[in-house]
């Protein structure tokens, strides 16, 4: 493997002079800030948000770095991991020329983001057991393949990919391997963040939207070499993480213990719900899950989905997705929500 960041970065991005914000040009102590055309009178709220936030999110990166065991220069923060996904396409893939590989069934935004950026998608579908098809994957890679997208634990299948398979891809691909670890906190697998020292071509994505319970604040993270992070920083909008999010995230990051408690509860309920589904007469399979949801193969999946809607319960219908035929994806809810779902399922059987 010979990874060369210079070679993989788009020409226009290499040449780009990034926007220099008022907050970039002056960040010291001062009394009077008349440099950013903010409203000096305040905000129509009790707490003021009239000043632009720190474009480098230094405080969050510092705290996050301690939690994750990595230095701040290896952290990029996005407006959700969806922004990180888009920025990876925009930084490394030449529209109309380059391609990327995805392994469906997987998270839908890789393909949507590729399409928005006019990047060709090549698909190496997962095997029956939802693991990587390395033989097929290898045949898809050519000189214009810039990114390989791996999602582990995978959405919507719920399983973690075999570590040795991921390492095989990392060791043999000259482009960037993105491992999306949105659900890693629910998994027995350990994160690849600590592997960054060995793989200059690795980007690990995580998010505060799942285990941390902060989907509404929109904070996604990319962990990578300082070189890759520098490029994402160049391309991002200057104030992509707003002030309210920065403040609330800083507070939330104090509560690792509370988050770990929630993870334990959700994982226990996931296993309990898996047992409940397995005992249902028309369930053909409950796939093992390393995430906060279950993929359930069940007869008449679409009809059940619609029946549950009439009861005010929304699942994710994946029955039209290749390899997920007749499958519903069920997020683990609160105890009460899970009970309501199980009761509604009993009603379905009692019709």
Ligand X SMILES: Cc1ncc(COP(=O)(O)O)c(C=O)c1O
The region, left, alpha or beta by phi > 0 then psi within -120 to 50, assigned to residue 213 is: left
Q: How far is the CB of 190 from ligand X (least distance, A)?
A: 17
**Which of residues 64 and 151 has its CB atom nearest to ligand X in the complex?**
151
**CB–CB of 207/220 below 8 Å?**
yes
Q: How far is the CB of 161 from ligand X (least distance, A)?
A: 12
Per-residue interface string for the shown chain with ligand X, residues 148-167, x marking contact by CB under 6 A: ---x---x------------
Q: Residues of 58-80 as b/e, b for ≥16 C-beta within 10 angstroms?
A: eebbebbbeebebebebbbbbbb
Count CB-CB contacts under 10 A for residue 191. Answer: 19
**Which of residues 82 and 326 has its CB atom nearest to ligand X in the complex?**
82
Q: Which of 86, 98, 180, 326 binds ligand X (CB under 6 A)?
A: 180
**Which of residues 179 and 345 has its CB atom nearest to ligand X in the complex?**
179
Q: Which of 1, 116, 215, 244 binds ligand X (CB under 6 A)?
A: 215
Determine if 81 is a binding residue for ligand X (CB under 6 A). yes
Per-residue interface string for the shown chain with ligand X, residues 95-134, x marking contact by CB under 6 A: ------------x---------------------------
Per-residue interface string for the shown chain with ligand X, residues 41-80, x marking contact by CB under 6 A: ---------------------------------------x
Determine if 182 is a binding residue for ligand X (CB under 6 A). yes
Residues in Cβ contact with 28 at an 8 Å cutoff, skipping those fewer than 6 apart: none
Q: How far is the CB of 102 from ligand X (least distance, A)?
A: 12
Q: How far is the CB of 69 from ligand X (least distance, A)?
A: 21
**CB–CB of 260/213 below 8 Å?**
no
From first CA to last CA, the distance across the chain in angstroms is 59
Of 205, 247, 177, nearest to 81 by C-alpha is 205
Give, for 173, the enclosing helix (H) or strand (E). none
Q: In what order do the strands lie in the sheet with 327-331?
A: 283-286, 293-298, 327-331, 316-317
- The C-alpha atoms of residue 65 and residue 194 are separated, in whole angstroms, by 12
Q: In this chain, which residue has its C-beta nearest to ligand X?
A: 80
**CB–CB of 50/40 below 8 Å?**
yes
How big is the site for ligand X, counted in residues (CB under 6 A)?
12
Q: Which of the stretches 158-166, 207-215, 239-247, 305-313 binds ligand X when contact is defined by CB under 6 A?
A: 207-215
Determine if 220 is a binding residue for ligand X (CB under 6 A). yes
Of 86, 38, 31, nearest to 235 by C-alpha is 86
Q: How far is the CB of 220 from ligand X (least distance, A)?
A: 4
**Which of residues 9 and 155 has its CB atom nearest to ligand X in the complex?**
155
**Which of residues 23 and 218 has its CB atom nearest to ligand X in the complex?**
218
**Which of residues 119 and 345 has its CB atom nearest to ligand X in the complex?**
119
**Which of residues 259 and 345 has its CB atom nearest to ligand X in the complex?**
259
- Sequence-ordered alpha helix ranges (H) in the chain: 5-8, 11-15, 22-25, 58-68, 81-92, 109-116, 134-140, 163-172, 226-235, 243-252, 256-278, 301-310, 335-350
Q: How far is the CB of 249 from ligand X (least distance, A)?
A: 12
Q: Which of 99, 157, 209, 246 binds ligand X (CB under 6 A)?
A: 209
Give CA torsion, residues 150, 155, 160, 164, to 10 deg. Answer: -20
Of 191, 256, 210, 229, nearest to 78 by C-alpha is 229
Q: Which of 8, 57, 75, 82 binds ligand X (CB under 6 A)?
A: 82
Q: How far is the CB of 98 from ligand X (least distance, A)?
A: 21
Residues that bind ligand X (CB under 6 A): 80-82, 107, 151, 155, 180, 182, 207, 209, 215, 220
């Amino acid at each position: 493997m010979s990874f060369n960041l210079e070679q993989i970065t788009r020409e226009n991005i290499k040449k780009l002079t990034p926007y220099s914000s008022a907050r970039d040009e002056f960040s010291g102590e001062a009394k009077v800030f008349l440099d950013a055309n903010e409203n000096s009178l305040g905000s129509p709220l009790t707490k003021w948000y009239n000043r632009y936030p720190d474009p480098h999110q230094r405080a969050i990166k510092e705290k996050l770095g301690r939690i994750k065991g990595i230095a701040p220069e290896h952290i990029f923060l996005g407006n959700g991991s969806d922004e990180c996904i888009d920025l990876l396409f925009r930084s490394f893939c030449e529209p109309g020329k380059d391609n990327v590989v995805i392994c469906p069934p997987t998270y839908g935004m890789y393909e949507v983001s590729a399409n928005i950026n006019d990047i060709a998608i090549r698909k190496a579908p997962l095997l029956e057991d939802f693991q990587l098809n390395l033989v097929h994957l290898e045949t898809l890679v050519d000189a214009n393949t810039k990114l390989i997208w791996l999602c582990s634990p995978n959405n919507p299948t719920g399983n973690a990919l075999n570590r040795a398979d991921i390492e095989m891809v990392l060791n043999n691909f000259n482009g960037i391997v993105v491992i999306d670890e949105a659900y890693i906190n629910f998994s027995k697998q350990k994160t690849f963040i600590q592997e960054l020292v060995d793989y200059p071509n690795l980007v690990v994505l995580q998010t505060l939207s799942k285990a941390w319970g902060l989907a509404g604040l929109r904070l996604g993270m990319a962990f990578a070499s300082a070189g890759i992070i520098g490029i994402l920083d160049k391309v991002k909008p200057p104030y992509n993480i707003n002030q309210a999010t920065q403040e609330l995230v800083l507070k939330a990051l104090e509560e690792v213990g509370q988050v770990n408690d929630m993870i334990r509860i959700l994982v226990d309920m996931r296993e309990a719900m898996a047992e409940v589904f397995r005992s249902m007469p028309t369930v053909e399979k409950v796939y093992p899950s390393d995430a906060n949801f279950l993929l359930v193969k069940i007869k008449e999946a679409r009809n059940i989905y619609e029946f549950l809607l009439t009861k005010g319960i929304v699942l994710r219908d994946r029955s039209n997705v290749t390899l997920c035929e007749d499958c519903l994806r069920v997020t683990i809810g609160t105890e009460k929500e899970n009970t309501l779902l199980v009761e509604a399922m009993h009603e379905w059987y009692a019709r």
